Structure 1
Amino acid sequence: MQKYYCENCGSKSNSILSLTEKSCYRHPLGSGNGKHVVYQGSEKAQYSCKYCGGTSSSIFSLTSFPCPQHPNGNNEGRHLPLF
């Protein structure tokens, strides 16, 4: 069964609908200010940040930390997984 992940927090679901109908606690606009966004890439052993190239074994752990090269400024946003 395919899993769908949120690109902002790494939450997973068995369907796109059940994922995207819930609020994301790591949404760029703030916790609860937006819905989960479906990660468009495939499942991988390592995920890389779109901005700095940092890596982690899960989207959840990658997005847990601020990114030093985020477009909003140094550590002003979280890592975002590269597709």
Structure 2
Amino acid sequence: MANFYCEHCGSKYSSVSSLTSGTCPRHPNGPSKGKHELYEGSEKPQYTCKFCGSKYSSIVSLTSGTCSRHPNGPSKGKHTPAL
């Protein structure tokens, strides 16, 4: 059975419908101001931020940190997983 992950917080769900039905605590519009969004990449042993190249072992740990090269400005956004 496949796992589905939120691009913003890394939460894991067993279906896309259950993923997209809940609000996301790390949504770009603010905590719980938007729904979880599907990470469309595959499961991997390591995830890379598409803005700065930092590597983490999970999407949860990647998306918890602020990114020094985020498009909104240094440390004004979270790391975002590259596909």
Establish whether TM, by shorter chain, passes 0.5. Answer: yes
Which residue type is aligned with residue 47 of structure 1?
Y
Q: Give the aligned CA root-mean-square deviation in angstroms.
A: 0.3
Q: Count residues in correspondence.
A: 83
Q: If the length of structure 2 is used for normalisation, what is the TM-score? A: 0.99
1:53: how far off? Answer: 0.3
Equivalence for 1:46:
46
- Structure 2: segments with no counterpart, 5+ residues: none
Q: If the length of structure 1 is used for normalisation, what is the TM-score? A: 0.99
Which residue type is aligned with residue 67 of structure 1?
C
Q: Deviations over 1:12-60 (max 9, x none)?
A: 1000000001000000000111000000000000000010000000000
- Structure 1: segments with no counterpart, 5+ residues: none
Alignment of 1:1-83 (within 5 A): 1-83=1-83
Give the distance between the partners of 1:33 and 1:5, measured in 2 at CA: 18
SS in 2 for 1:63: helix
Give the distance between the partners of 1:7 and 1:54, measured in 2 at CA: 16
Which residue type is aligned with residue 37 of structure 1?
E
Moved beyond 4 Å, runs of 4+: none
